[in-house]
Amino acid sequence: MRSTFKVLFFLKRDKEKANGMIPLFCRITVDGQDARFGMKCEVNPKCWDVKTGKATGRTAEATKINALVDTTKAEIYKIYREIQEREHYVTAEKIKNVFLGIEQKHQTLLELFDYHNKERTLQIGVNLSKSTYKQYCITRQRVADFLSYKYNLNDISIKEVNKQFICDFETYLLTQYDYCKNSVVTMMKKFRHVFELALNKEWIYRNPFNEYKLQWQKTDRGYLTQPEIETMINSQLENRRLEQTRDIFIFCAFTGLAYSDVKHLTYDNIQSSFDGKLWIKGKRRKTDVEYKIPLLNIPQMILEKYRGKTKNDLVLPTCDIVMYNLNF
């Protein structure tokens, strides 16, 4: 991206010393935004030309000051060109920091993703599921693929990500992969969460997702009729893995529990009430809302079928949600 760029040297007159000398400053301006820093040099204001931004005269002191100005200006221009070629996005602050040797972390998009995902690994099993973490990893890979496909780049500055970039990425997911609209929205939510982290860390000062709206597509999930459910229950499946998947699905259908709830269900969740009937008690994994569900005959038969055949006191032989969905 092209930008306006200027380097100016000036005297900081409000910092005049007792001996009349004034500190010399440098100001870098890129696209109307500036950053400035002191040159650690003091100049006699009588020997300073405001128009040229240099010291006047042929004294040794003037020569020294002008040499400092010239070398600083040359180095700043070099830094500007390098950042422009490498990241295609330049700011005055970034140039100043590079010149002063101040390290700026997490300036690129994939570095931000890596930092975010590393932080999220600490939350797995606490308030984050493995499947959700995998979605973040997949989103990171799709962003990397998009950068290569669209821009022929390995990475990009996080400050260069704007609404157009986000919309183009959404289009890329819809056209280059076999994703439905809502699957893309789920991935875009993960992308947005990464930028919320950058905003909270003050690595950016404006979230590009503010102008982007997530729009879920209404879908007709349909439903199974009683005869269809009975057909599933009575079907003889030779593949044990498919049989387990069928049983878990039927258990979910008769209890109303989500797969994520059933996956973590243990015998501690199966409790007797005052009338001797069995109930399933626990909290929803997603909403943390308590539930109490009567254990009907068919789901109870499924529990008995796998009693003593699972690990960690789990009531059913569940697997990763991805594999579960593939079995259908």
- The CATH number given to 109-211 is 1.10.150.130
Instruction: For the full predicted model, state whether its pTM sits above 0.85.
Output: no
Contacts for 156 with CB less than 8 Å, ≥ 6 apart? 87, 88, 89, 108, 109, 147
When pLDDT is cut at 50, 70 and 90, the band that residue 8 belongs to is very high
- Give yes or no for residue 76 having a pLDDT over 90: yes
Least confident of 17-31, 52-66, 226-240, 247-261: 226-240
- Give yes or no for residue 2 having a pLDDT over 70: no
Q: Give the C-alpha distances (Å, rounded to integers) separating 124 from 119, 128, 131, 223.
A: 10, 5, 9, 33
Residue 194's pLDDT is what? Answer: 94
| Order of strands across the sheet that contains 5-11 | 5-11, 22-30, 33-43
Mean pLDDT, to the nearest integer, of 74-96? 87
Q: Who has greater pLDDT, 237 or 30?
A: 30
Q: Give the integer Cα–Cα distance in Å for 291 and 72.
A: 68
Whether the Cβ atoms of residue 244 and residue 261 lie closer than 8 Å to each other: no
Contacts for 114 with CB less than 8 Å, ≥ 6 apart? 140
- Give yes or no for residue 150 having a pLDDT over 80: yes
Mean pLDDT, to the nearest integer, of 178-202? 90
Residue 106's pLDDT is what? Answer: 55
Indicate the domain borders of the chain: 5-100, 109-211, 226-326
